[in-house]
Structure 1
């Protein structure tokens, strides 16, 4: 009997949500203050991690910077200090659980409680799956998704106790759609998107509404992550431009941050169109990047 009343209510809530989203197109979202927050960013020695660290530094945050590259992470820390922030650099291999837990304890003991966690570290092996080294596949999952569990278990309990904090998961457009020669990478990023959504639901179920979550899903970024990326409709973006959009999404507690925003519409089409039309859509977009194919058919 209750179902007869709940179905119309569901339709009303859906209509209200669409109207609210339409209105928000014309009214800027209110931004929160993050001054004084302790922000930890993995993979901050270059690219998006470095550019986002600079954005946090400009907002008077205290920064904990992790990267496997000592020179890169120390260089990022020095620039953050020049921008007026406090910054602490750590050399961490995010493929190693023990390294993450050990350094996390050091951060908590020597610096304080992290209130914004940005899981940004990532690796990629652009090659055909049959020829991808087993160790590269394993490392892709260790860095791109398993590390998220270890950092979350290390830092989020304090956020939950305080009912205050923000977890930023850097995934990818490759966490919503796929590309050949990126099988391990796309699989790990699908897992990262699922991690974000499940963690968001779990925090809500536990009543921890003060701990916010965001998932960052960019297209290609002009960095050394993949070589010579290109696209007809969505050209590669500079890390600094992506970082500004990440910051905007974090300050407004945006759950899913698609960069560029046009990507969201493309992904909707990817799910709604027939297979033949989807194939033609991605032919129009024409994604390209340097990759290696060494698999040979047994008959050749």
Structure 2
């Protein structure tokens, strides 16, 4: 049985945990999937509140959900914590600093959680971190990535199938598509090559158009 949770914190999430356990039973698999992506927002743009919201949803939420549900898994000596990160948590993309920073944070969080469970001999609770390229769930994202061969869009059903398959196999890390993992070698190249690849794989006209749209929304 499963339940989709909206983003909540503190007392609210504990209350929801009690409701779920009273209605459906114990939580065996926790999937942290909430995420916010602001396209084409540079470090100098965006309100402090908007940036903090990205941090809260994309990263801080993992602390509260895991703190809430992990103890039950440990007591039952079984469970699985799944985090949907992003390929941007392994390889940065321009004009998405808050998003990249939080997704790198999720990667570090899950690696540290794995280490902690191993150290405390509680690794019967499994962990899985998912690194998908962009999933086609938003129209503006689809338009932004249209005809971009380096960043193909993933269909949600296909991505979900691969994620479930990886969880059932207790994979620690899932890259979607699997071939995308090869591009991580770019991190080890000289800066001039990294710069060339990233600049030439980014459609600046689309970035400018998206930034103008966002600025117009702020002014309205």
TM-score range, shorter chain: 0.7 to 0.9
Greater gyration radius: 1
User: Which of 259, 268, 276 does residue 192 from structure 2 map onto?
Assistant: 276
Q: Which residue of 2 aligns with 1:82?
A: none
Can you list the C-alpha shifts for 1:34-77, whole angstroms capped at 9, x where unaligned? xxxxxxxxxxxxxxxxxxxxxxxxxxxx112223xxxxxxxxxx
**Match runs of 1:80-119 below 5 Å:** 93-94=7-8, 96-119=9-32
Instruction: State whether structure 2 residue 73 is matched by structure 1 residue 147.
Output: no
- Kindly state the Cα deviation for residue 130 of structure 1 after the two structures are TM-superposed: 1.3
TM-aligned CA distance change 1:109 to 1:245, over 3 Å? same
TM-aligned CA distance change 1:172 to 1:196, over 3 Å? same
- Kindly state the Cα deviation for residue 287 of structure 1 after the two structures are TM-superposed: 6.7
TM-aligned CA distance change 1:283 to 1:261, over 3 Å? farther
Q: Which residue of 1 aligns with 2:5?
A: 66
Instruction: State whether structure 2 residue 208 is matched by structure 1 residue 292.
Output: no
Structure 2: gaps spanning 5 or more residues: 216-220
SS in 1 for 2:36: coil
User: Which of 60, 64, 88 does residue 174 from structure 1 map onto?
Assistant: 88
TM-aligned CA distance change 1:232 to 1:249, over 3 Å? same
**Match runs of 1:190-201 below 5 Å:** 190-201=104-115
Q: Which residue of 1 aligns with 2:218?
A: none
Can you list the C-alpha shifts for 1:65-103, whole angstroms capped at 9, x where unaligned? 223xxxxxxxxxxxxxxxxxxxxxxxxx33x33332221
245-254 vs 284-293, greater mean Cα deviation? 284-293
- Kindly state the Cα deviation for residue 123 of structure 1 after the two structures are TM-superposed: 1.2
- Kindly state the Cα deviation for residue 226 of structure 1 after the two structures are TM-superposed: 5.2
Q: TM-score, normalised by structure 1?
A: 0.64
Give me the whole-angstrom Cα distance separating, in 1, the residues matched to 2:139 and 2:34.
Answer: 11
Aligned-pair Cα RMSD in Å:
2.1
**Match runs of 1:194-209 below 5 Å:** 194-209=108-123
How many aligned residue pairs are there? 207
SS in 1 for 2:171: coil
Structure 1: gaps spanning 5 or more residues: 1-61, 68-92, 296-300
8 Å contact 1:113–1:155 — kept in the other structure?
no
Give me the whole-angstrom Cα distance separating, in 1, the residues matched to 2:203 and 2:131.
Answer: 16
Can you list the C-alpha shifts for 1:194-216, whole angstroms capped at 9, x where unaligned? 01100011011111121111001
Give me the whole-angstrom Cα distance separating, in 2, the residues matched to 1:258 and 1:271.
Answer: 16
User: Which of 61, 67, 73 does residue 159 from structure 1 map onto?
Assistant: 73
Higher percent of residues as helix: 2
- Using CA pairs under 8 Å that are at least 6 residues apart, name the structure with larger relative contact order, 1 or 2: 2
Q: Which residue of 1 aligns with 2:177?
A: 260
Can you list the C-alpha shifts for 1:234-261, whole angstroms capped at 9, x where unaligned? 4111111111111111011111111111
TM-aligned CA distance change 1:221 to 1:229, over 3 Å? farther
8 Å contact 2:93–2:198 — kept in the other structure?
no
SS in 2 for 1:65: coil
Can you list the C-alpha shifts for 1:139-170, whole angstroms capped at 9, x where unaligned? 11111111111111111111111221110011
